[in-house]
Amino acid sequence: MTQHIYFLGIGGTLMGSLALLAKERGFRVSGSDAVMYPPMSDQLAEVEIELFQDFDPAQLKPAPDMVVVGNAQLPRGHPGIEYILDSGLPYTSGAEWLGRYILPDRWVLAVSGTHGKTTTASMLAWILDQAGLDPGFLIGGVPKNFTRSARLGADPFFVVEADEYDCSYFDRRAKFVHYRPRTLIINNLEYDHADIYPDLGAIQTQFHHLLRTVPSHGMIIAPSNDEHVNEVLGQGCWTPIVRIGHAQIKPPIQSDNGERWHTDNTGDGSSFRVLLNDSDYGKITWSMMGEHNIHNALTAIAAARHAGVAPKIAVEALSSFAGVKRRLDLIAEKGNTLVYDDFAHHPTAIRTTLQGLRNKIGNEQIIAVVEPRTHTMSLGILQHELATCCSPADEVYWFRGENIKWDLSELVQNCVVPARQFDDLDRLIEELAKPSIARQHIVIMSNGSFGGIYEKLPRALQAN
């Protein structure tokens, strides 16, 4: 009889992707969540996974063989958690289920860091795919080169986006300690997740634990010039390190193997050469932009090389890389107005995205529309960084959603570019939909559904 797995919190990026893997593995899969929205809801519906809005005990009758518990808004006191515990049902976290049932005996290539995980993991999976290796992957977004955010693939390679957020209410460790990578990417490191980590040092401790799981015959790929990453590596590293960027490390870390991936880029990032020390492996010309995506590309190429893919093949693959949904995704164009959707989970991500767009479009107008709704930003922890992160834009509209627990008026006053605050979504859409004489780029930046603005604003533009 087919085993039944129930996912509590199935609408999240990790949990939904795990559900896709479980379905592909042959399990019967069902799950519930308070809110479900695209692209994850569409993916789950496509493979006919049974979905429920909100939890009801009837969904667990007869009892499933395993309940996989998510970590988003699922504390003790949640009716689903209490029912599972009172009924004695077997349960585990999403990260532990992945580590126990999908990743054993796989060559795990884990992509970690504060920024760029989704894009870099998507690049790496695409390179391995184009090299004919049929990798499995689990990515916290939907790569445009693939139809889904997760697939089993063929042995041995599996690419996983490795998040430092905790696993669940009962397992407060970072998710990535369950993944046991052979190839580990650390893209960068900043303070984030203020709801669970008191400071940057606490996050660095989790990354140090991650380093302890990488075998000595594996590989770590890290930036040369990220002080916070280098502090983690300096706490102890037993695996060869490949670097991204020119800068020399002082003092040098013993396991640094001397390899440096870098580029000659001086433009907007849409075209650049790939260099390993003094060797030139070719030129990438693609639809992406920004220095951050050049860094992501070099990192993915280095990781693919560890898996046996020649750099020239990787360069060719990335020239056809189409990006990830919700990463400066053009969703509407009407008259002189272009509208983009960007995930933008942190002030640094906001700045790098806007700067990449600025480098591409020159002096055309940019209006950033930001809903600071991540746990860290909604608590007001990064107010100073938020006040400066929109500097590449001409104007910024801050939207205060229901979960934002602080007054945005001081942020509006301190913002380095002209800023306005909106509390009413309809009023915001009305303002954005006004016809523009000059060419303008509206960048909507949120990690959530933003009240349906992605559908409502394009309709309003067409109506005007």
Reported as type and span, the H/E element at residue 109 is: strand 107-112
The Cβ of residue 156 has, within 10 Å, a number of other Cβ atoms equal to 14
Residues 243 and 383 in one domain: no
Cα atoms in the Cβ-side hemisphere of radius 13 Å centred on 12: 17
- Residue 107's closest CA among 42, 153, 145? 153
Torsion angles phi and psi, residue 451, rounded to 5: 65, 20
> Per the domain annotation, does 324 fall within a domain?
no
Residues 240 and 380 in one domain: no
Q: Which of 45, 63, 96 is the last residue of a domain?
A: 96
Give, in order, the Cα–Cα distances in Å from 313 to each of 132, 136, 281, 302. Answer: 11, 19, 9, 12
Q: Which of 96, 121, 150 is the last residue of a domain?
A: 96
> Per the domain annotation, does 132 fall within a domain?
yes
Instruction: Residue 64: give the domain boundaries.
Output: 4-96
d(CA 305, CA 51): 40
Residues 270 and 363 in one domain: no
| Cis status of the peptide bond prior to 311, with omega within 30 of 0 | no
Tell me the pTM. Answer: 0.87
* Residue pointed to by tokens 């107010």: 383
Question: What total number of domains does the chain contain?
Answer: 3
Residues 210 and 191 in one domain: yes
pLDDT in tens, the chain (464 residues): 689 999 999 998 899 999 999 999 999 999 999 988 777 888 999 999 999 999 999 999 999 999 999 987 899 999 999 999 999 999 999 999 999 999 999 999 999 999 899 999 999 999 999 999 999 999 988 899 998 999 999 989 999 999 999 999 999 999 999 999 999 999 999 988 778 889 999 999 999 999 999 999 999 999 999 999 999 999 999 999 999 997 766 667 878 888 999 998 667 889 999 999 989 999 999 998 888 899 999 999 999 999 999 999 999 999 999 988 888 889 999 999 999 998 876 888 899 889 989 988 999 999 999 998 766 666 667 788 889 999 999 999 999 877 777 788 888 899 999 999 999 999 999 999 998 889 999 999 988 788 889 999 999 998 88
